[in-house]
Amino acid sequence: MTEPADTPTIDHAFTGDRRGAAHDPTYAGALSFMRRRYSKDFTGCDLVIWGVPFDLAVSNRPGTRFGPQALRRVSAIFDGDAQYPSRIDPFEHLSAVDYGDCLLPRSDLQGCAKAIEEGAAKIIASGAHLVTLGGDHFITLPLLRAHVARHGKLALVQFDAHQDTWDDGIGAISHGTFVLEAVREGLIDVERSIQIGIRTVAPRDCGIAVIDGYAAQALGVDGVVARIRQRVGHGPAYLTFDIDGLDPAFAPGTGTPVAGGLSSAQGLGMVWGIRDLDFRGMDVVEVSPPYDHADATAIAGAAVAQHYIQALALKKMG
């Protein structure tokens, strides 16, 4: 039974409605993402948030399987308030649930890819908008497969230190190859796609525009936003935010940190600056709590998702 809106409650993740603010103490209560109600029923939802705790495709430090837990935990800081910078409670306008995590088969990497794709496809087929908490960056490949099956080929907007276009062979399970695989499969509209914050050298760009780390600093937030908007245009797109797009000073808790990246303020400002693009889904990936300090990385990752959710609410408001 759901309590009346004016009745103080705790554990909103179990007791609350799909809409409206929660008022659990920040330090207590069940830790869903932004205190959304846990539910396997997403009928009629505008938004579904789920986790994909997968880190079996990393090339360096593991630990991103714990990313969804950390992102949910730190998101409690957003509880019950109007959100910055929109100044609205997004859940007054969005019916949303936290669907929990994707169940991944042990010892079956191809089975993991299939489980992610099928789980995402089921949610997307309902008409709900899907926000995914990762997990290493491989998960974006099966997520793209599910989104493209519903929406057609998508522009990719990727914040990252790496282009992820290495070639480990067709069908490889690797967080460094997902972009190349997606291009090979025809999932990405390369002429409208762009990567921001790149600070490594990959063997190919696959026709995708690149704003590297130094260029991003020179352009600033407004300049990068203008470049993204010009590249993507008005067509459908997918946003993937690898937390290592941020400098390790702001996001130490990641598997393959690279110096010289964006600040958290710059990254969030860029995401906010493109809030009206036609995004059909998004993910935040590569948050690795074992290497984090004071939850800095998880806080940044949760804020990226929170900014995106605010943008969805603004679109719903018209």
Which tens digit of pLDDT belongs to each residue from 3-13?
455 566 788 88
pTM, to two decimals = 0.95
Residues 301 and 131: their CA atoms lie apart, in Å, by 12
> pLDDT band for position 295 (50/70/90)?
very high
Phi, psi of 176 (to 5 degrees): -100, 5
- pLDDT(209) > 80: yes
Lowest mean pLDDT among 13-17, 226-230, 304-308: 13-17
Per-residue model confidence (pLDDT) at position 6: 57
User: Backbone dihedral region of 164: left (phi > 0), alpha (psi from -120 to 50 degrees) or beta?
Assistant: left
> pLDDT band for position 200 (50/70/90)?
very high
Residue type, 155: A
Lowest mean pLDDT among 59-68, 77-86, 128-137, 180-189: 77-86
Q: What is the mean pLDDT of residues 167-181?
A: 89
Q: What is the mean pLDDT of residues 133-143?
A: 97
Kindly report the average pLDDT of the chain as a whole number: 94
Q: Which residues contact 17 (CB under 8 A, 6 or more apart)?
A: 2, 5, 37
Phi, psi of 309 (to 5 degrees): -65, -40
CATH topology of domain 12-317: Arginase; Chain A (3.40.800)
Annotated binding site: 137, 160, 162, 164, 242, 244
Per-residue model confidence (pLDDT) at position 1: 44
Per-residue model confidence (pLDDT) at position 169: 83
Asked whether 240 and 280 are in contact (CB, 8 A), the reply is no
Per-residue model confidence (pLDDT) at position 184: 96
Annotated binding site for Mn(2+): 137, 160, 162, 164, 242, 244
> pLDDT band for position 274 (50/70/90)?
very high
Task: Sketch the domain layout of the chain as residue ranges.
Answer: 12-317
Per-residue model confidence (pLDDT) at position 193: 98
